[in-house]
Amino acid sequence: MKSALLAAALLLSALFLPKLTGHDPYLVGVMIEVLRMAALASAWNIIGGYAGQYSFGHAAYFGAGAYATSIILTAYPATDPLLALVAGIAVSCLIALVTGSIVFRLRGHYFALASIAVAEIVRLSVLNLEFTGGAQGLLLSDLSFHGLDLNSKTPFYFGMLMLLALTMGVTALLSRARMGYYLQAIREDEDAASSLGIDIARCKNSALVVSAALTSVAGSLYALYIRFIDTTAVLDLRLSIEIILTAIIGGVGTIWGPLLGAILLVPLAEMLRSNFFGQTLVSLGVVSPDSPAGRFFADGLAHAHVLVYGVITVLCILFMPTGLLGLFRRER
């Protein structure tokens, strides 16, 4: 009950956030990114956190949504974007079912390895095929959706917010429903779960399909929002890793963890990318801009955000493998 109230209060305040910032394009852009990563990590959490099946290839579902939507809208510009989004869901579910049927009979390292292999096959196919735009990517031109101004960022803020609310709603339902208990039983002990009559492969497959469908919607929204996609942006292994990292930092297998992770990680990545820390050090006079150290902080640090992600991953696994929410819970 308390968390339901908290959720309602958060959602309500999130509705007014763009207005509070005066629809500042930069800030709204960062907030969309927070919502996108939160939704992705939350969707991943269903299969990774609840069922304990760490997918290292979720970029495939994100990319499938983004590409299916873009391809349909470039070929038939008059199509309702919503229909293109549904097509993305269908493609993602298909990939999920094929992956699941191959690897869910196996345990341990295998699902992780196979999920990467599937994602790489999808990425390389998109890169080498003609109708996907290959290495050049796909550019979307004018879009219309029931009179909404799609040149502004605000509709996408609300789109991503709706998706995040939906994903977290599904997670909350799942943590109370029979299916959720089945998944957690599988995560804790597969043999015990199986001996209690749980159809393991079916449960894992349904969790993966739900997770893939939600991830795909995020991909479609992203494609409509950015209007340009290529394999590096939407299908790279790095995206899959960033999704997992976001969930891990917040707390795997919890409803709020992925959102918390995104709220922490996205602004940090944004500050590193725009070289906030380096500029601050230089402008505070801590390092002189002409010294080698100064040049590094002014220029090199902007390229170091993935390095920082690596350091965070290592520290997180070594010192708080259960995430921030896990730390909190243990202390209580």
Partner 1 sequence: MLFVQSLVSGLLTGGIYALAGMGMSMIFGVMNVSNFAHGDLMMLGMYMAYFAFTLLHVDPYLSLVLILPVAFLFGFVLEKIFINRVILHPHQNQILLTIGLGLIMSNSALLAFTSDPKILTTAYSSSSITIFNDVFVSVPLLRSFLVTCLITALLYLFLSRTRTGMALRATSQNREAAQLMGIDVSKMSAITFGIGTALSASAGALIAPTYYIYPMAGHSFLLKAFTVCVLGGLGSIPGATLGGLIIGIVEALSSTYLSTDWKDVVVFTLFLAVLLLRPQGLFGDKGGA
Binding site for partner 1 (CB under 8 A): 48, 54, 56, 102-103, 105-110, 112-114, 116-118, 120-121, 124-125, 127-128, 237, 241, 244-245, 248, 300, 303-304, 306-307, 309-314, 316-318, 321
Amino acid at 297: F
Q: How far apart are CA 262 and CA 113, in angstroms?
A: 25
> Shortest gap between Cβ of 245 and partner 1 (angstroms)?
8
Residue number, 73 or 203, with CB nearest to partner 1: 203
Nearer to partner 1, 27 or 113 (CB): 113
- DSSP for 79-122, please give it: S-HHHHHHHHHHHHHHHHHHHHHHHTTS-THHHHHHHHHHHHHH
Residue 152: DSSP 8-state = S
The SS3 call for residue 145 is strand
Is residue 59 within 8 Å of residue 234, measured between CB atoms?
Answer: yes
The rounded distance, in Å, linking the Cα atoms of 81 and 221 is 9
Measured from the CB of residue 274, what is the shortest distance to partner 1 in angstroms? 18
Distances from the Cα of 210 to the Cα of 96, 174, 262, 285, angstroms: 9, 11, 21, 51
For 58, other C-beta atoms within 10 Å of its C-beta total 29
In sign, the C-alpha dihedral spanning 243, 246, 248, 254 is negative
CA distances from 129 to 27, 212, 229 (A): 36, 23, 15
Q: Which is nearer to partner 1, 286 or 314 (CB)?
A: 314
Q: State the nearest-atom distance from the C-beta of 206 to partner 1, in Å.
A: 20
| Least Cβ distance, residue 126 to partner 1 (angstroms) | 11
Q: Whose Cβ is closer to partner 1: residue 90's or residue 124's?
A: 124
| Residues making up the chain, counted from first to last | 332
Instruction: For the CB of residue 78, give the shortest distance to partner 1 in the complex, in Å.
Output: 33
User: Which residue number, 183 or 245, has a Cβ lying nearer to partner 1?
Assistant: 245
| Closest to partner 1 by CB, 52 or 88 | 52
Least distance in angstroms from the C-beta of 120 to partner 1: 5
Cβ(260)–Cβ(54) below 8 Å: no
47/85 with CB nearer partner 1: 47
- The helix (run of H) or strand (run of E) holding residue 229 is strand 228-229
**Minimum CB separation from partner 1 for residue 224, in Å?**
28
